[in-house]
Structure 1
Amino acid sequence: MPRTKITPLICVEDGELAAAELPEAHRSWAEANSFAGQRGRLLALPAGDGGLAGYLFGLGDAAERPSLVTGLAGAALGSGTYRLEGAYGDPTLAAIGFQLGAYRFDRYRSGRAAPKLAIPGRADADEVARLVEAAVLARDLINTPANDLGPDAFEREIRAFAAARKMKIKVIAGDDLLRANFPMIHAVGRASVQAPRLVDLSWGDARHPKVTLVGKGVTFDTGGLDIKAASGMLLMKKDMGGAANVLGLAHAIVSAKLRLRLRVLIPIVENSIAGAAFRPGDVLTSRQGMTVEIGNTDAEGRLILADALALADEESPELLLDMATLTGAARVALGPDLPPLYSTDDALARALMEAGAAADDPLWQMPLWSPYDGMMSSKIADVNNAGSGGFAGSVTAALFLRRFVANAAAWVHLDIFGWAPEARPSRPVGGTDQGIRAVYGVLRQRYPQ
């Protein structure tokens, strides 16, 4: 069997070409082509026989480059197997970055083969594999359109996910949601031809600390009777991005065999328009017993999360964390690349931000500003699902969710976007992972194998 050809990828910091210890012919070639280690630049190196000796890859300025900058090489290179050389820094992060940059979503078209990486010997190969697989899992799910990933198909995907990891699974669907006291999940999803459901996964030793993850699983969001404009619906296949990222995080946790008892709750609905759709002005009674006036049917994600959070909270987990593509206001405040983080534990929030910064998975803490609770007041119910006045939409959404968490020792809410509108190092355009590496980094420290 022929040996796989491995092409060197020599990483060079900006202005440090001399330190790369290149052969004189390659150094002269780099200088003639004005290569000085500029971030993201690739330069092919000729071999003496007229073939390819390898590539130079610019890392950019050490003080400014993201830790997954090698993703730029993964995105730009063609098929083949490559080996990192030079001053590429942490080998595990460099390998993760390259492979995430090489990600392609080619389910619906024939695409060029993605480049492969020979994992550096000093890298933690298992950690590379689990975090790349976690991100790819989330990206593939988000990128899949709703005609192929409605509630029925999403449940099948999760069942396969659970079976592959020996996780226990329970699903409550359709009118059984009413009998099991999940009225808001039922109300949001009942207009769809595919029934709403709640998927409940569990894994690990019941004696270990309880960590529960909740992911918003709206497979498509029309806005309901408060219908979105056509432009607002174009990306709504990604409204299950919270659930996709929670599954990616669950994969990393199970793969690493962290010492915790994991529970994953995913309410799955399609927010459709039909005669059975819930209406503006309706009053719903939540699982917790709180009544909710519907100010806007397009604020549906917080309704299904509320029932799931209430269930999770009943067993008083040590950590309760939800991810959701919840508000456009979060993107107005912090843009698509920096998800807001809300938490009842400031020390935990700081740890998550530090872990995110180290893993090129940034998060930014926002305040649970209690005076804004009044923006969700209702004259006929305990609370309105939509804040009045248009101010602080991400904050008021987080405050709404906080009402359904009373017993968990710590609660974290990530208002993610789940989409990369422009290519970034390790993040091609399209559905993307957010929060997985940051949260996993903290959990790995708290609950090591």
Structure 2
Amino acid sequence: MVLALPTESFGTFDTGDTAWILTSAALVLLMTPGLAFFYGGLSRGKSVLNMMMMSFGSLATVSVVYVLWGFSMSFSNGITGDDDILGIFANPFSLFGSDQLTNTIEKGNETLVVTGGLSIPSIVFLGFQLTFAVITVALISGSLAERVKFSTWLVFTVVWTTIVYFPLAHMVWGGGIMSGAETGFASWLFGTEDGAAKVAPVDFAGGTVVHINAGMAGLVLAIIVGKRVGFGRTAYRPHNIPFVMLGAALLWFGWFGFNVGSELAADATAGKVWVNTTAATAAAILGWLAVEIIRDKHATSVGAASGIVAGLVAITPACNALTPVGSLILGAVAGVLAALAIGLKNKYGYDDSLDVVGVHLVAGLWGTIGIGLLAKGDGLFWGGDAKLLVVQFVIALFALVFTGVLTAAIAFALKPLGWRVSDEDEKVGIDEAEHAETAYESA
């Protein structure tokens, strides 16, 4: 998902490509309710509603700010031709409110179009990108289960997307300093060719922008907000494993919009991405279950569901760069690494409640860096060149530092609002305390 800068404002669009991206946007939107089921099932019965509401709350707040200034901050320079700000973000006021994308006179199939020779209207691209921003924020909530005030969470979603997500999306996908643009860091490292970096960073659908970003934010918040009452002494068991399986299924289904839609066209590359996404995810399930069988002597349904997510996360940045065999390797390793990584919170004492760090951060890092090893023609193992590996390592490291520092600043800035519910409310159940509801009569 790479956009060239700038282009003419008006052009033709392809109805087939446009129909596919609208469908993909709907699929990605479905992923957030799917995540609500996944996280809700992993939570205890007295906090399932709050966990699901954190996802639905993200859907509400992020959608509003994305239409108002998020799309403009991420991509407006590719449409208006305005300069961005130091390669970090585009002007939030260039397309503020997004009315400019709809107040156009259409003649036949001519309308305001996206950059780079793509064949979809800009308003469709906005809708597609909006869903990515929504689920990235919702992913973070899994690190904070059962203890955070809903009002503070809603404020956080607005501030974090504005300060962290929109700039990172611009830097990686909108022609900023972490892209393959002539002014990006990769051009400084290895030179340019035909106005772009000779060795361009690869993040096809969100390894850095979505998963490393959300995983690192989750880690920082888990540390700053603190542990649940009873962490280390209480067994936090999933209250509804069928919810977990349903959520994983919805995520896998929606992920085809996530990855395949990021081709921004209905073509052969989209077909390759579909196959690679399926291959990696299936292999990750087997990798995760293999760890469970060797370590615990049991293959669990929660493990299978978690393996699905780990594989999807890992293949997200890599789905266009790898062959199907490379995707199988990437996915299998992702399943193993994520299954092992979920134990880190107990070793180091941070309460990442639903394993955002173990799954999204670890698998996201592996997927991003693994491109430098497994990419067909450019990877160290598939092409014998280490340049892409260096570039991928740099963008992963940059995302870690950028997100970590800014998320910590936001978390401390919001402390006066109060992050935590009271210990008593947490013990009784955050659903009743924050929402005056319970999911079950016996909860």
Same structural fold, with TM-score higher than 0.5 when normalized by the shorter chain: no
Name whichever structure is richer in helix by fraction. 2
Name whichever structure is richer in strand by fraction. 1
Q: Comparing both chains, which one has the higher relative contact order based on Cα–Cα distances under 8 Å and sequence gaps of 6 or more? A: 2
